[in-house]
Structure formats: C-alpha cells, structure tokens
C-alpha cells in the first residue's frame, strides 16, 4: 500500500500544498520546528482517525484558520485504490470520507490506511506502562479482526460502567440492591467480551512472535532468544493454549470461567470501590535471553526491542491481509548507531513505502535506494528538493 499524493490546507503550520510521493522512499528534510512532524501527522491521521500525537482535533487547525482539509490518494493492493479525506474545524467538527462517502464511526476506518509509525516515543512500548503494550496488541488485532474490534469497544464500555457502579456503591450514592444487580449484569457483559479480547490478545502475541525475533536479530545482527509473553490477569486465561481462540466452545467455556472469577471477587471489589481483576490489568513481557527488558533493558536494548515489535505489526498485516503498510520514521535514526540505522532503513524500504523525517541529513548520507524522493520543509512550506 502507498500514498500516491496528498493535498493539505489549514493543517498546523503547513502551507497549502499538493504533493506526489515516491511509492518507495520519501525523505523529509528540514531543521527543527519547520513542520516535518506536522506533515507526517497529516499523512498518518486517517489510519486511526486521530492524531498519533494524542492531541485534540482542534489543535491541528492552523492558528489563523477556522478549518483544515486533507485529501490522500492511496494505492492498495491490486488496483483497489481509494481516496480518503478529512476535514476538521476549530469548533471541533470532524468529517471523514472514503471515496467521497461519509464515514460516521472511527472504527470503520480501522485497517483502511494501514500505517506503522516510529518516533522516539516508540520505546515506551517496552519502557512505559502496561497500557502501551495492551494498546499494541489491541491495535494490531483490531486491524485484522473486526469481531475483536467490536468486542474491545464493548469491553471498554463495560469497564467504564463497572468502575462507576463500584464508585457509587462505595460512596453510598446508589441504591444498594439495584446497583448490585446492575453490577452483576455488567460483569456478565464484561466476561463475554473479555473472553474474546483475551483470546485475541493471546493469538496476536503468537502471531507477532513468529516475526519479532527475526526482526530483532536482523536489526542488531546477532542471534538472541527474543520473544514476547502475554501476561493475562484472569487465571482462566493463563491456563489457555494459543489454539483455544479458534474453537467456539472454548470461548463459551472461558466466558463461564471468567464469570466465576468476577463473581468470586465481587464483594472485595465493592469494599474497595474499584475493579481488582480484568483485562485492563493485562501486560506483555518482553524477554531477551531470559531477561525482562521492561525492567532491566538498557536504552539500546529497549530501543531495538520496540522497533522489532513495531515492525512485526507490519509483518502480521502482510501475513493475514496481504497488505504492506506505509511506514513513517520520525526522527529516530539519530538515536541508533549507523549500522543499525542503515539496516532498519533497508529492512523497511525493501518492501514498504517509507517516509523518513530528519533534521540531520547525515542519518541517510550515502544511502541510495531506488525511487528516492527528497522533500524539503521550510516554515511549513513543503517542496521537492533536487539538491
């Protein structure tokens, strides 16, 4: 998959532009603060229907404008091309379109423009809290499994409801019996979607594991035992095998077992006023040669691990959907030694369209991939750079 062209207006500091990209390597050069990340952010927005920087939609609108508009022409596999557009206004309105048709729910976007984004924050995947690793599994699974995505949404809703009920019970703000009955009902709901989500996370871990070691070892040019281990909170999920996800009976059985665990702990949860078990406490161990990198990884080790894990998401997409996502590298090569940087560039660019933003041209010096296009960003002005 690749982005053929983009036109943007009103997006942060970017000057109105119409750009035709290389299907392979696009270098985005410019000093700090000129707008390189803004360009990548505009190109990546559609993949999740929000900024990868986690800011509000309104913040994307240029300071002196009331709205913004971005349109991409995307080439998918075998001629399934499409255009996607989004418009945002300062008042918070948002419009997303695919081939001119309005897209109403953000979940309908998942998997359309498939991208993988690397920036210095990528290392949070290993170093940061468990939620980054859960997000990693959930996002990867959602891209290839719509049922999972639906159940994940249902699960999040059930978890919010449950947390509110427990708070209300503790504060005595609710009628005790009614609220208890509601709590039991939400626990049922939770168990059903948690079974699907936990099975999906387990399967996703296995899928990712079939690629992650190879990525890791290619990147660092060594042969190490590198893998990820799914750490669910529910006892009944801990005891499952990877194959369980394929079997509808095991899903039913798991739902019952989870219900049992939730019922067992309910009184304690009511006393404490908050949930004590559930998939919101799951984690993923990142293990290299028996060492848990979440805790004991050096900066270099966590960086390589996080890159290998993120790349594995693109391998899974290809293995399951036949799609090679667009890869963005925002300012990450200055943190890698030259050898690793070059290996990563080669690994990514041999199969994907890539966008590499950097303030240091020496990061890519001497690299001569086919179909290289160089872009220069100056004060938000994006131009082809022939120099």
Residue ranges that bind ligand ADP, judged by CB under 6 A: 12-13, 30, 32-38, 59, 61-63
Nearer to ligand ADP, 63 or 78 (CB): 63
Instruction: Report in angstroms how near the CB of residue 354 gets to ligand ADP at its nearest.
Output: 17
Single out the residue of 26, 37, 203, 236 in contact with Mg ion (rule: CB under 5 A): 37
Nearer to ligand ADP, 204 or 330 (CB): 330
* Structure tokens given for 385: 């750079």
- What is the C-alpha to C-alpha distance for residues 66 and 89, in angstroms, rounded to an integer? 6
Nearer to ligand ADP, 13 or 251 (CB): 13
96, 103 contact by CB (below 8 A): yes
Instruction: Report in angstroms how near the CB of residue 11 gets to ligand ADP at its nearest.
Output: 8
34 binding partner (options ligand ADP, Mg ion, none; Cβ < 5 to 8 Å by kind): ligand ADP
- What is the C-alpha to C-alpha distance for residues 98 and 311, in angstroms, rounded to an integer? 27
Nearer to Mg ion, 35 or 325 (CB): 35
> Distances in Å between the alpha carbon of 99 and those of 74, 83, 110, 252, 348?
10, 5, 16, 40, 28
267 binding partner (options Mg ion, ligand ADP, none; Cβ < 5 to 8 Å by kind): none
Q: Which of 345, 328, 318, 367 is nearest to 39 (CA)?
A: 328
297 binding partner (options ligand ADP, Mg ion, none; Cβ < 5 to 8 Å by kind): none
Instruction: Report in angstroms how near the CB of residue 36 gets to ligand ADP at its nearest.
Output: 3
Nearer to Mg ion, 125 or 332 (CB): 332
- Please state whether beta strands 354-358 and 25-29 pair in parallel, antiparallel, or not at all (unpaired): parallel
Residues 6 or more apart in contact with residue 308 via CB below 8 angstroms: 212, 213, 215, 216, 219, 226
DSSP 335: G
Q: Which of 318, 378, 371 is nearest to 24 (CA)?
A: 371
Backbone angles phi, psi at 214, to 5 degrees: -60, -45
Nearer to Mg ion, 118 or 230 (CB): 118
Nearer to ligand ADP, 42 or 258 (CB): 42
Residues pairing with 72 in the sheet: 6, 84
| Stretch of 29-37, 232-240, 244-252, 294-302 contacting Mg ion, by CB under 5 A | 29-37
Q: Which of 194, 96, 107, 108 is nearest to 151 (CA)?
A: 194
- Please state whether beta strands 25-29 and 372-378 pair in parallel, antiparallel, or not at all (unpaired): parallel
For tokens 């859960």, what's the residue?
134
Question: Measured over all CA atoms, what is the biggest interatomic distance in the chain, rounded to whole angstroms?
Answer: 74
Instruction: Report in angstroms how near the CB of residue 372 gets to ligand ADP at its nearest.
Output: 20
Region 279-338 residues binding Mg ion, contact defined as CB under 5 A? none
Site for Mg ion contains 142 (CB under 5 A): no
| Stretch of 12-20, 30-38, 139-147, 345-353 contacting Mg ion, by CB under 5 A | 30-38
Instruction: Report in angstroms how near the CB of residue 43 gets to ligand ADP at its nearest.
Output: 12
| Stretch of 37-45, 62-70, 128-136, 234-242 contacting Mg ion, by CB under 5 A | 37-45
Q: Which of 382, 387, 386, 385 is nearest to 11 (CA)?
A: 382
Instruction: Report in angstroms how near the CB of residue 370 gets to Mg ion at its nearest.
Output: 26
| Stretch of 6-14, 33-41, 57-65, 274-282 contacting Mg ion, by CB under 5 A | 33-41
Instruction: Report in angstroms how near the CB of residue 57 gets to ligand ADP at its nearest.
Output: 11
Nearer to Mg ion, 98 or 359 (CB): 359
Instruction: Report in angstroms how near the CB of residue 30 gets to Mg ion at its nearest.
Output: 9
357, 329 contact by CB (below 8 A): yes
Nearer to ligand ADP, 136 or 328 (CB): 328
Query: 3-state class of 358 per DSSP?
Result: strand
Residues binding Mg ion (CB under 5 A): 37
């Amino acid at each position: 998959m690749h982005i053929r062209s983009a036109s943007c207006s009103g997006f942060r500091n970017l000057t109105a532009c119409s750009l035709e990209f290389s299907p392979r390597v696009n270098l985005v050069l410019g000093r700090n603060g000129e707008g390189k990340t803004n360009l990548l952010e505009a190109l990546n927005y559609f993949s999740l229907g929000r900024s990868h920087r986690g800011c509000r939609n309104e913040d994307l609108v240029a300071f002196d404008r009331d709205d913004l508009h971005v349109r991409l022409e995307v080439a998918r596999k075998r001629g399934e091309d499409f255009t996607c557009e989004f418009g945002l206004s300062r008042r918070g309105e948002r419009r997303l379109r695919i081939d001119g048709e309005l897209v109403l729910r953000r979940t309908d976007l998942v998997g359309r423009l498939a991208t993988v984004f690397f920036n210095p924050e990528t290392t949070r995947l290993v170093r940061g809290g468990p939620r980054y690793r859960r997000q990693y599994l959930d996002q990867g699974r959602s891209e290839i499994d719509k049922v999972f995505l639906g159940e994940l949404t249902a699960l999040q809703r059930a978890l919010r409801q449950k947390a509110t009920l427990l708070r209300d019970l503790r504060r005595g703000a609710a009628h005790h019996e009614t609220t208890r009955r509601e709590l039991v009902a939400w626990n049922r709901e939770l168990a059903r979607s948690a079974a699907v989500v936990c099975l999906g996370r387990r399967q996703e871990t296995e899928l990712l594991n079939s690629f992650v070691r190879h990525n890791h070892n290619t990147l660092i040019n060594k042969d190490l035992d590198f893998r990820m281990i799914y750490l669910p909170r529910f006892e009944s999920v801990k005891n499952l095998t990877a194959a369980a996800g394929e079997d509808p009976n095991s899903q039913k059985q798991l739902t019952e077992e989870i219900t049992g665990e939730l019922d067992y702990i309910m009184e304690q949860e009511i006393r404490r006023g908050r949930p004590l078990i559930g998939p919101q406490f799951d984690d993923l161990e990142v293990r290299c040669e028996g060492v848990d990198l979440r805790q004991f990884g050096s900066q270099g080790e966590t960086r390589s691990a996080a890159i290998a894990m993120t790349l594995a998401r693109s391998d899974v997409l290809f293995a399951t959907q036949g799609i090679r996502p667009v890869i963005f590298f925002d300012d990450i090569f200055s943190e890698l030694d030259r050898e690793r940087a070059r290996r990563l560039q080669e690994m990514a660019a041999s199969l994907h369209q890539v966008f590499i933003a950097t303030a240091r041209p020496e990061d890519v010096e001497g690299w001569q991939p086919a179909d290289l296009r160089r872009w220069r960003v100056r004060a938000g002005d994006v131009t082809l750079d022939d120099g």
